[in-house]
């Protein structure tokens, strides 16, 4: 099956800084999602982005499917951005099975 790797594993920022989180995947995928896990454990959908670029406020994401990576950009970070960010990918013949990376734990300091 596909493998998903995220980097960096940990990131500490000052409020207002920008950051880039990376997700590499080992095979062709037809689903790539980014999530933010809140302190209570719920996975909040950020982007569904198997290819191309999307933006939502201070967050944007780009997936280059041919090169098998995705990037999540966070601009002007706020303390509420703290938490763990996951990317998850699905191979085209795997139905609903998402493979998750190990996550990037982001800490934004005031």
User: Among 89, 81, 77, 88, which residue's Cα sits nearest to residue 105?
Assistant: 81
Could you list the residues that contact another protein (CB under 8 A)? Answer: 30-31, 33, 35, 40-43, 45, 48, 50, 86, 88, 92-103
CB closer to another protein, 75 vs 103: 103
Query: Which residues are CB-neighbours of 56 under 8 A, at least 6 positions away?
Result: 46, 47
Residue with tokens 């037809």: 30
Cβ proximity to another protein, 95 vs 110, nearer residue: 95
Q: How far is the CB of 102 from another protein (least distance, A)?
A: 5
Rounded least distance, CB 57 to another protein, Å = 18
Which CB, 25 or 35, lies closer to another protein?
35
State the virtual CA torsion across 32, 6, 44, 20 in degrees, nearest 10. Answer: -100
């Amino acid at each position: 099956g596909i493998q998903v790797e995220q980097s960096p594993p940990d990131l500490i920022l000052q409020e207002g800084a920008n950051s880039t989180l990376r997700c590499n995947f080992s095979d062709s995928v037809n689903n790539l999602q980014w999530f933010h896990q809140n302190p209570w454990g719920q996975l909040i959908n950020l982007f569904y982005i198997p290819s191309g670029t999307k933006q939502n406020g201070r967050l944007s994401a780009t997936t280059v499917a041919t090169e098998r990576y995705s990037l999540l950009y966070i601009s002007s970070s706020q303390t509420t951005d703290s938490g763990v960010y996951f990317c998850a990918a699905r191979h085209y013949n795997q139905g609903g099975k998402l493979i998750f990376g190990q996550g990037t734990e982001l800490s934004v300091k005031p």
